[in-house]
Amino acid sequence: MATVYTASSTATGDARNGHVRSTDGVLDLDLAVPKEMGGPGGALTNPEQLFSAGYAACFHSALKAVARAQKITLEDTAVTVDVGIGPNETGGFQLTVAIEAEIPGVDEATAQALIEAAHQVCPYSNATRGNVEVALTLA
C-alpha cells in the first residue's frame, strides 16, 4: 500500500485517565474513564468516543464517495456510530460497532445498497472486519 497520509498521536499520563495529543497539536485532549466503567466520567473524552467520531466521519465520507461513483446525489445525510466495549471470553476486552445512516431522498433498497457498499470501502470498516462485530442500519 502506498501511504498518502499518516496521523500520529501520543498518549501520556495514567492510561485511560491521561492525555492524548496529536503530533501537530490539533488534537490535545484529557481523557477520563467513563462512569459506566468505574471511572470519574465527566466532561472528558475517552478512546471509544474518539474511535466512534473517527469511524462516523470516515464512513460518511465513504458513503458519499460510493454515491458519487454511482451518480446518486445525496443531501442532508448523517452517520452515527456507536462503539461499545466489554469483556471478552479470554479475559480481555473487545469492541462492538453499530452504524446508523440517515439517507433521505432515496428509496430504502438503494440506501441499503449504499451503506453496504460504503462498508466495503471505508478504511475503518476494512480495519475492523473479522475482528469487531459491526451492525449496519438505516435511520
Q: What is the pLDDT of residues 3-56, one digit of tens each?
A: 999 999 999 999 899 999 999 999 999 999 999 999 998 999 999 999 999 999
pLDDT of 112: 98
Question: pTM for the complete prediction?
Answer: 0.95
Contact 73, 67 (CB under 8 A): yes
* Portion of the chain with pLDDT greater than 70, in percent: 100
Angle at the Cα of 139 from the Cα atoms of 118 and 80, rounded to 5 degrees? 60
Whole-angstrom distance, CA of residue 24 vs CA of residue 7:
9
Whole-angstrom distance, CA of residue 119 vs CA of residue 65:
12
pLDDT of 15: 82
Quote the mean pLDDT of the chain: 96
Whole-angstrom distance, CA of residue 92 vs CA of residue 6:
28
pLDDT of 58: 98
Sheet with strand 93-102: strands edge to edge: 78-87, 93-102, 133-138
